[in-house]
Amino acid sequence: MNQRTLLITLTGPDRPGVTSRLFAVLAGFPVVVADVEQVVIRGRLTLGVLVAYAGDVPTGTGGTLGALWTAVERTAEDLGLEVELSTSSSAKEKRRRGRLHVTVLGAPLQPAAMAGIAGRIAAAGANIDRIERLSSYPVTCIELAVSGADPDALRAELASEAHAQQVDVAVQRAGLYRRAKRLIVMDVDSTLIQAEVIELLAAHAGCLEEVARVTEEAMRGELDFAESLRRRVALLEGLSEEVFEKVRKEVVLTPGARTLVRTLKRLDYRFAIVSGGFTQLTDALVEDLGIDYSAANTLEVVDGVLTGRVTGEIVDRPGKARALERFAREAGIPISQTVAIGDGANDLDMIAAAGLGIAFNAKPVVRQAADTAVNVPYLDSILYLLGIPRDEVEAADAEDGVTVVES
């Protein structure tokens, strides 16, 4: 049977009952609903309904389809709306390749950036089906639903444009692929918190400059992490274990960290941290934020004094990936449903292993390797990559009586 479609688009001032009135009219005709999209911006409505009907339905002025047109036009006039109708044969319609979500983050988001992103999408032969805002502050986040593009090719094109426009752009497959993400695994130093813990410890030991230099070499991937850790920890020999309490008070969470963890836990995600730092500090974060899983190194302490050594297996670059896999097994979640977030070379293996790897304010080598990069200083921007808009986060916080004192 030759099936055809009719696209009905209503635009104008929004008012209660528009959607119900339109569908009540359509209910009187031999059509089925194929697609619906509705957007309201500052009180102005755009409602699109795609209906399908058999090709043998009479289409003349006095035929069934003609009567439907007349009924829809009268309803639109009664509601004070403009209406547009267009028909096509479904057999001739362009078959859409997999739908994608393109998420754009900017602070601020300039028109030139959106022009560049939209231009690249069009040049790739793809179509923007829908645009919606996920956040207006502290960063602006716009999400585009795109069809007709190869995800890998489009990701490469948009990465180049994002760099030129100084915005962040993520490309993900739509539908269940994104909504299935259920385990978040995050680096700690310079990601969940705004410092490198070993440097805080080194400041108390009087060796900050030397430790910072070795840390930077390791983060750039110029030095084996395990060796760099041993060299830095050796400089802490002789510190009293009382230093841990002092450093805990100096740790500052990255803006948006509490909102990110609280929101994901509310949505029944599992949240984990994996750190090249130390359990003497990460254990406090686990308790404070309600984190499900954690892995970190442990500084050896004898008679209340740091020995300058670590105990047990070192959590290094391969160790972080193994921790992600272990957390996923314990949570009963496939690796494809995990998200890894980090900033340094030590995070590369877990970012590569996860279903979605995110570079957060990261070194160039990590940005190039990750699926997407976020360069704004707000950790809760990660929520937008998962399709969670800010107004829903705020509404849930208000319902729970949460007073937000961060971003």
Residues designated catalytic:
187, 189
Distance, CA of 392 to CA of 398 (rounded, Å): 10
Distance of CA 388 to the CA centre of its chain: 8
Cβ pair 294, 315 in contact under 8 A: no
Burial pattern 221-239, b for ≥16 Cβ within 10 A else e, equals bebebbebbeebbebbeeb
Cβ pair 104, 117 in contact under 8 A: yes
Amino acid identity of 211?
V
Pairing verdict, β 44-54 and 32-41:
antiparallel
Name the H helices within 166-312. Answer: 176-179, 197-205, 208-219, 225-234, 243-250, 257-266, 279-289
Cβ pair 343, 191 in contact under 8 A: yes
Q: Look-up: residue for tokens 């259920």?
A: 182
Distance of CA 383 to the CA centre of its chain: 5
Burial pattern 149-182, b for ≥16 Cβ within 10 A else e, equals bebeebbebbbebbeebebbbbbbebeebbeebb
Distance of CA 27 to the CA centre of its chain: 39
Cβ pair 172, 152 in contact under 8 A: no
